[in-house]
């Protein structure tokens, strides 16, 4: 169930897509260049910044640049993040959403859209797993935005959003199991 900072709730009604086993290997390849230093990466950011992952979000906060939208789940590499990271990245949680591992739910897509529409930096605390939200985030983000996520044991992957990236993500998500048309409806709402 999504709850915003006013306490209002909406239905976490259902899963939209599920990652099929045969696509897992494709998602292991980074979608953009990898950087290990948040301050260096931030030099290439000149639009909205969407961070997916607790450690990535933590590095941006430590560098003094809160992401415009951050998606965190209090985990890294399937283990709980340490207390300092957890407290830092969840300190200003504005939205909560449910998104089980290997899925993309309507709840997390609505939370993403809400976060992108807000003027102030917004953190979305995901119950479950936020990893796959990178894909709809690239589609929903404005042209020139930066979507950054962690590549385990390598660094931060930086995707500068273009129409080509959006088309690639749509094609990839069309190969997931589930209701891609409903996902497009949720993402395309203005």
Greatest C-alpha distance within the chain: 41
User: Which H helix or E strand runs over 87?
Assistant: helix 83-90
Of 88, 80, 110, 87, which Cα lies nearest the Cα of 97?
A: 110
CA distance 41 to 73: 22
CB atoms within 10 A of CB 180: 16
Q: Could you tell me the end-to-end alpha-carbon distance of the chain, in angstroms, rounded to an integer?
A: 22
Instruction: Report the DSSP beta bridge partners of residue 49.
Output: 146
Binding region: 54-56, 73, 130, 153
Tell me if residue 190 falls in helix, strand or coil. Answer: coil
- Total H helices, total E strands in the chain: 7, 14
Q: What are phi and psi of 11, to 5 degrees?
A: -70, 130
Binding region for GTP: 54-56, 73, 130, 153
CB atoms within 10 A of CB 66: 17
């Amino acid at each position: 169930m999504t709850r915003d900072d006013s306490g209002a709730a909406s239905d976490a009604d259902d899963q939209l897509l599920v990652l099929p086993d045969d696509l897992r290997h494709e998602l292991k390849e980074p979608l953009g260049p990898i950087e290990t230093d948040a301050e260096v990466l931030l030099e290439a950011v000149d639009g909205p910044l969407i961070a997916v992952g607790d450690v990535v979000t933590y590095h941006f906060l430590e560098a003094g640049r809160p992401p415009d939208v951050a998606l965190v789940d209090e985990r890294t590499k399937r283990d709980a993040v340490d207390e300092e990271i957890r407290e830092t990245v969840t300190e200003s949680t504005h939205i909560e959403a449910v998104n089980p591992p290997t899925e993309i739910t309507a709840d997390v897509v609505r939370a993403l859209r809400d976060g992108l529409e807000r003027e102030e930096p917004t953190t979305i605390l995901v119950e479950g797993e936020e990893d796959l939200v990178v894909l709809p985030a690239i589609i929903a983000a404005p042209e020139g935005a930066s979507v950054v996520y962690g590549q385990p044991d390598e660094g931060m992957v930086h995707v500068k959003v273009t129409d080509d990236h959006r088309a690639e993500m749509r094609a990839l998500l069309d190969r997931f199991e589930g209701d891609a048309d409903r996902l497009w409806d949720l993402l395309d709402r203005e």
